[in-house]
Amino acid sequence: MEQIQHKYVEVSGLKLHVAELGTGPKVVLFLHGFPEIWYSWRHQMVAAAAAGYRAIAFDFRGYGLSQQPPEPEKASFDDLVVDVIGVMDGLGISKAFLVGKDFGAGPVFHVAVLHPERVSGVITLGIPCMLPGFSVIPMHLFPKGFYVLRWQEPGRAEADFGRFDVKTVIRNIYMLFCRSELQVASDDQEIMDLADPSAPLPPWFTEEDLKVYSSLYENSGFRTALQVPYRTLGVNFVITDPKITAPGMLIMGEKDYVLKFPGMEEYIRSEKVKEFMPNLEIIFHEEGNHFVQEQLPEEVNQLLITFLNKHST
């Protein structure tokens, strides 16, 4: 970990924090979700660099050590695509493998559709290809207390999170989201109330990990994070041909709560997702949860390196 290099790349006038390990022409670009950050790819960066790849993870605008956009409430998924292309351009990278987790899968798919010449292959964890965007998720079928619906309400998550310090918020979200069931609050609850403060951290998520995450979110806060993804899920890209021809791999944990989304498991297991990604390999891990790359790094690293080696030229 101490060998990872840190720098800043300017994109659209904002300084984005970039972590990098390894050298060479074969590049892997890792895109985080929430409540994650560049650090959530620490295990994969080390494995990719050891296998001969240049491994890069960065904080999206408004996250971690990257600068906030001037008007966070106007941020959108379009900005994330700009961030990806801008980081690649700023680092002199013409083409890369894109790896995305959670909402980070969104810009992976959009870059692969809009800029196919820049993409060697696509790997996502926890989220299958959904084009033209996340609006295809049938939010009207979820209970009204579902965490995404709650966090879409301006000010509600801010008030909920504001009752606790940042470390407690991050801890609660990790503890809740590594469960296999959907997180739904009753009318007299907020999402943070669902967490059990006495429950121990899982063995794969240490107090030191929590400290790192907390320090990064203490720097950025949650203002942009609540806007993108949660409050922009209904906004789609204009895509004329929603198909990704690059080789792809989807890694899903059998215990990932995302599989409880209405229609999600059928969409994946029936391989309907391959209508958008015909060259997609689908991997289910029996014990995997929503944070499978941190929970089971050796298994995920093996899948990652095998895929990269197979599709590297």
Residues annotated catalytic, as ranges: 102, 230, 290
* Number of residues that make up the chain: 313
> Roughly how many angstroms between the first and final C-alpha of the chain, as a whole number?
28
- In the 8-state DSSP scheme, what is residue 4? -
Nearest Cα residue to 40 out of 158, 170, 133: 170
Nearest Cα residue to 44 out of 267, 311, 296, 312: 296
Instruction: Give Cβ neighbours of residue 109 (< 8 Å, ≥ 6 apart).
Output: 100, 122, 124, 129, 130, 131, 244
Residue with tokens 């989304």: 261
Rounded to 10°, the helix 42-50/297-311 angle is 40
Structure tokens at 203: 């063995």
Rounded to whole angstroms, the Cα distance separating 227 from 241 reads: 27
